[in-house]
Structure 1
Amino acid sequence: MTKNECYELGRITKTHGIKGEVNIWLDVDFPDEYEDLESVFVDIKGELVPYFVQKILIRPNQTIVQFEDVDTFEKAEALLGASLYLPLDVLPDLEKDQFYYHEIVGFQVVDKKLGVLGTVNTVYSMQVQDLVSMDYQSKEVLIPVSDSIVLSADKAQKILNVDLPDGLIDVYLSE
């Protein structure tokens, strides 16, 4: 399994207790959908290593996991900061007008008023506001992800339709 065949589920943020449990941050909209999680791939020095979930407890703002064969504080501590992955084929299907962030990388950004602008490089998931990154005139431009700005994604044509606020592009072009 390679990272290209997976999506990032979250990250191990800290240890929990002394028996090998870890806290993980789930980078998902609905953490409860993962309460029956059986296994994940853990990024260990660039390699995806399968880990089997022995126990998972999902609480608001905290998910505690016990992996099989991780039964000491030291073994849990060795996993700190590691990213967790799942295969793309286990992602739930979305409604027609919805998309996963990884799907729009490489899409052409087309603004309602300005026309074709650039190509999506990545999407940053931030605590307050997710941001689409694109290059425009050799500058990185960040587009806030909101229903009023990101209008739709045409998966067949690989186009991200947006309605940028007036002056947003100018902020990035001015020195």
Structure 2
Amino acid sequence: MEEFLQVGVITATHGIHGEVKVFPTTDDPKRFKKLKKVLLDTGREKLELEVEGVKFFKNMVILKFKEYNDINQIEKYRKCPLLVTREHAVKLKKNEYFIADLIGLKVYTEDDAFLGTLDDVIQTGANDVYQVVTEEGKEILIPAIRQCILEVDVKEGRMKVHLLEGLV
């Protein structure tokens, strides 16, 4: 399991006082209102930043960090991810999982035959779709619905699925 979870990516600066536009990679962008701190992943280190201000504009979140008050200080962090620790992550309901925890799970059919590895989660309007890659490199798309996803065990790294007719 990942220690840190991504909540957004800095896309650009906003104004001259150190604000940044953030593309949210979380299901609920409003969660930024409750965030007190984030980790800025520079690629070499993770800097802990205190969130001083939050605004929303279209599909973006505009953040102001206490540590930066000038466009020149923050500009170099464009395209850097913003992370939170698991303890500051959104609380999940029963049968909900972080995408980062699902990627890499070994997927088995209901009769315990190895199907492949979960490679991607495609988010559609109705439900997510799990992309499973077989050992032969073939892709299988499985809707993330109760009829198909029988069991998920993140700690064991396993998922058990029922393949509806026509999926394979």
Q: Which AA in structure 2 matches 1:110?
A: Y
The offset of 1:119, in angstroms, is 2.4
Partner of 1:172: none
The offset of 1:165, in angstroms, is 5.8
The offset of 1:164, in angstroms, is 4.5
Q: Which AA in structure 2 matches 1:26?
A: P
1:55-79 per-residue CA deviation (whole Å, 9 max, x = no partner) reads 1113441200011232222223211
Structure 1: gaps spanning 5 or more residues:
170-175
Mapped contact 1:37–1:56 kept (Cα < 8 A):
no
Taking structure 1 as reference, are residues 4 and 162 closer, same or farther at Cα in structure 2, changes over 3 Å only? Answer: closer
Mapped contact 2:7–2:82 kept (Cα < 8 A):
yes
SS of residue matched to 1:14? strand
Q: Does 1:83 align with 2:91?
A: no
Identity %: 21
Partner of 2:108: 110
Taking structure 1 as reference, are residues 118 and 90 closer, same or farther at Cα in structure 2, changes over 3 Å only? Answer: same
The offset of 1:116, in angstroms, is 2.6
**Which TM-score applies when normalising by structure 2?**
0.78
Q: Distance in 2 between matches of 1:91 and 1:10?
A: 13
Partner of 2:160: 161
Mapped contact 2:3–2:86 kept (Cα < 8 A):
yes
Taking structure 1 as reference, are residues 126 and 95 closer, same or farther at Cα in structure 2, changes over 3 Å only? Answer: closer
Mapped contact 1:15–1:22 kept (Cα < 8 A):
yes
Q: Distance in 1 between matches of 2:45 and 2:148?
A: 34
Q: Does 1:50 align with 2:53?
A: no
Q: Which AA in structure 1 matches 2:7?
A: L
Q: Distance in 2 between matches of 1:133 and 1:8?
A: 20
1:14-163 pair list within 5 angstroms: 14-111=12-109, 115-120=113-118, 122-124=119-121, 132-139=130-137, 141=139, 143=141, 145-147=143-145, 151-155=149-153, 158-163=157-162
Structure 1 stretch displaced more, 123-132 or 53-62: 123-132
Structure 2: gaps spanning 5 or more residues:
none
Taking structure 1 as reference, are residues 59 and 112 closer, same or farther at Cα in structure 2, changes over 3 Å only? Answer: farther
Q: Distance in 2 between matches of 1:75 and 1:9?
A: 22
Q: Distance in 1 between matches of 2:147 and 2:6?
A: 25
Taking structure 1 as reference, are residues 6 and 38 closer, same or farther at Cα in structure 2, changes over 3 Å only? Answer: same
Taking structure 1 as reference, are residues 63 and 29 closer, same or farther at Cα in structure 2, changes over 3 Å only? Answer: same
**Which TM-score applies when normalising by structure 1?**
0.75
C-alpha RMSD of the superposition: 3.0
Q: Which AA in structure 2 matches 1:154?
A: V
Structure 1 stretch displaced more, 7-16 or 158-167: 158-167
SS of residue matched to 2:67? coil
